Amino acid sequence: MKIIDLIKSDYFLLFVKREGKVVLGKSYSNLWLLTAVLSATFLAIAFSNASLDYLSYKMDDPFINWVDIKNEYGEGDFYGLEYALDLDENKERYHYYDYQADHSYTYMFFGQEEHNIQYLKCRFFQNLNTSLVEAILSKDNVVKNWKVDNISDVNPNTIGVIITEEVMKKMGYDSAPSFIDYMSYAPGADALGFDLLEDEFARLPVPVLAVVKRLPGNVDMISTSYFYQQACNDNTYPFNMCNPDYAGNLTYFIPADLKMDRFRKIVEDVGVQYTESELEIDEYSFYSPELIPFRDGQFVIVNCFDDYLDYEELKSINEKILDELADDGLYRVYSYAFSDYPLTQKAFLSVHFEDLDMIRDFESYVRDTFKVRIEMSQINAKENFNAVSAMGNILSWVIIVFAIVCIVLFIVNLLQSYFQKVKRNLGTFKAFGISDKALISVYVIILAAIMLVAIIVSITVTWLAEGCLHLCGVLKDGVFDYLSLWSIKTGCSIIIIIFASTYTVYFVMSRLLKSTPGDLIYDR
């Protein structure tokens, strides 16, 4: 009998109207119970999907997949290891993309107030155009979009820094500054008109490239090896404020939102009050790519061509200009005496892994071949992270299988209890010539319809729960949802549940209807 003919038959309508109510239970209790089971199942699947997505993101996050190998200075063949990391066969064997050689040091910086001094743990990258820096400047890690537009466009020799939001607040800033002040050891620089703290330290501005939520290795700041090179430079001493060239001119960074007309007016007023000749603004003579911050703006030089101004006069003019415009982001900068300088041996190597599958083998290779040790806690943490991801995937499918088993058992129990109530009616139908196949088909259609309604309701409930959590801002790391319903796994689960429930109905009813009409009618 075709399904269409079956649906049009009188006894099918009778089953739907009368027997269907029994299957649904009193007040549709069986439907609601099945919906509750499916809702719990889809909520578990959605939570599992979201957790695995988050784990997958973390596994791919260069913050996780970078391993630092410290240079113990003399212990092991560090140069040999650096050469081996360049070999393509090692990259393929141990599943890593690339590496970089970095330095690390702690420097002192002034906060917004002179008495506020911060010791910042700094990491200096050989190259800013890497996947690690890309991850650092990702949308979810940058604070309020305070970052350079494109890190690859930044000059490789920048002395710019990337700081954390925590450091920014410790330094007394409510908003990201264009520059922060390195503490330059410069005894005697007060003779050049610079203010000194305890007659030893002057402010030396370095540009801010970005403000982020976190940095790898729990450092406070990252910059380039060029910054470190200049800080160590004892040839030209670029970070020493005792240089008369620094004090002999007034160079400023003007942010884009500070109108040039206003700056001109302030400079004109200061020139009239404190010099016998007019101050002039040169917008084109100064350009230093090493000093460009994340904030748009321009550099200008303030000159007095008709008169010689000594250091104290220049200091007074600078103070008057900054008194008017410092709160608007104006900053005095200097043309530093940069030069090449040989750096000491690298502090550590950072290796970027594609995945963590071969991390233990890599550690053994490094230890046995080059006598260089990697701290085991770092390796163990990454292996555990890998194991958690695998277990999360397994548990996700275990949840699905358990839910299907529960649904199958529920259907079996439902049909068996229902059968005891209606088997005399079924015996009568069989006695009048209705085949087992037709009866089974009717029950398959009824249970499939009930299952479909339960699935639609439960998916709707789960989807609404996911949307509510997102709208309420209940998110991991402020970005990732706790529930993620829509996935291939969810679709597969729906198909498997429908197939398993349909087959269960067919199997159970086939066994129950094996009895003769007389046995069913007289309960033999």
- What is the tens place of the pLDDT at every residue in 419-474? 777 777 677 767 777 777 777 777 777 788 888 888 899 999 999 988 888 888 77
pLDDT at 248: 87
What is the C-alpha separation between 333 and 205, in angstroms, rounded?
Answer: 6
Q: Are residues 217 and 345 in the same domain?
A: yes
Contacts of 495 (CB under 8 A, 6+ apart): none
Q: What is the pTM of this model?
A: 0.69
**Same domain as 107, residue 54:** no
Specify the residue for token string 């620094």: 246
CB 209, CB 186: distance < 8 Å? no
Q: What is the tens place of the pLDDT at every residue in 197-231?
A: 877 899 999 999 999 998 887 789 999 999 999 99
Task: Tell me, yes or no, whether 404 and 442 share the same domain.
Answer: yes
CA 356 to centroid of chain Cα atoms: 18
pLDDT at 85: 92
Range from 328-337, 461-470, 509-518 carrying the lowest mean pLDDT: 509-518
Give SS3 for 280.
strand
Same-domain status, 8 and 93: no
Instruction: Name the 3-class secondary structure at 155.
Output: coil
- Burial zone of 168 (CB within 10 Å; 0-12 exposed, 13-18 middle, 19+ buried): buried
Q: Are residues 264 and 129 in the same domain?
A: yes
- Return mean pLDDT, the chain: 84
Nearest Cα neighbor of 176 from 299, 291, 333, 296 is 296
| pLDDT of 476 strictly over 90 | no
Helix runs in 275-355, H state only: 311-325
What pLDDT does 13 receive? 64
Point out the least confidently predicted range of 12-26, 114-128, 231-245, 492-506: 12-26
3-state helix, strand, coil in the chain (%, to 5): 55, 20, 30
Q: Is 499 exposed, middle or buried, given 0-12, 13-18 or 19+ CB atoms closer than 10 A?
A: exposed
pLDDT at 15: 63
Q: Would you state the torsion angle of the CA atoms of residues 22, 23, 29, 31, taken in this order, to the nearest 10 degrees?
A: -150
Closest CA to 236 of 336, 333, 343, 124: 336
Q: Which is higher by pLDDT, 518 or 10?
A: 518
More confident residue, 75 or 408: 408
Above pLDDT 90, what percent of the chain? Answer: 29
Name the strand (E) or helix (H) holding 413.
helix 376-431
Give the phi and the psi of residue 339 in degrees, each rounded to 5: -160, 165
Give the position of tokens 């209890």. Answer: 417
Whether 71 and 48 share a structural domain: no
Beta carbons within 8 Å of 53's beta carbon, 6+ residues apart: 480, 484
The whole-number pLDDT of residue 155 equals 92
Task: Assess if residue 372 is contained within a domain.
Answer: no
Tell whether 366 is covered by a domain: no
Tell me which H or E stretch contains 110. strand 96-110
- Model confidence pLDDT, tens digit, residues 139-174: 888 999 999 999 989 999 999 999 999 999 999 999
How many domains does one find in the chain?
Answer: 2
Least confident of 61-75, 233-247, 470-484: 61-75
Say how many CA atoms lie within 13 Å of 293 toward its Cβ: 27
Task: Tell me if 364 is assigned to some domain.
Answer: no
**What residues contact 184, with CB distance under 8 A and at least 6 apart?**
201, 202, 203, 204, 239, 240, 241
Q: How far apart are CA 229 and CA 429, in angstroms?
A: 94
Nearest of 57, 49, 59 to residue 384 by alpha carbon: 59
DSSP state of 138: S
Q: Which two tokens stand for residue 71?
A: 């240079």
Answer for the pair 247, 193: CB distance below 8 angstroms, yes or no: yes
266 with 413, same domain: the answer is no
Percent of the chain with pLDDT over 70: 89
Residues 315 and 193: their CA atoms lie apart, in Å, by 6
349, 371, 397 - which closes a domain: 349
For the stretch 363-388, pLDDT in tens is 899 989 998 888 767 667 777 777 77
Q: Would you state the structure tokens that stand for residue 470, as one six-digit string?
A: 């997102």
Number of other CB atoms surrounding residue 359 within 10 Å: 24
Higher pLDDT, 90 or 391: 90
Task: Mark whether 315 and 226 lie in a shared domain.
Answer: yes
State whether 33 and 51 are in the same domain: yes
The alpha carbon of 57 is separated from its chain's Cα centroid by a whole number of angstroms, namely: 7
Q: pLDDT tens-digit profile of 178-191?
A: 999 999 999 989 89
Residues 54 and 70 in one domain: no
Give the β-pairing of 117-125 and 221-224: parallel
CA-CA distance, 235 to 245, in Å (whole number)?
16
* Domain region containing 124: 65-349
Give the closest residue to 161 by CA, choosing from 97, 257, 227.
Answer: 227
For 287, phi and psi rounded to 5 degrees? -150, 120
Please tell me whether residues 38 and 114 are part of one structural domain.
Answer: no
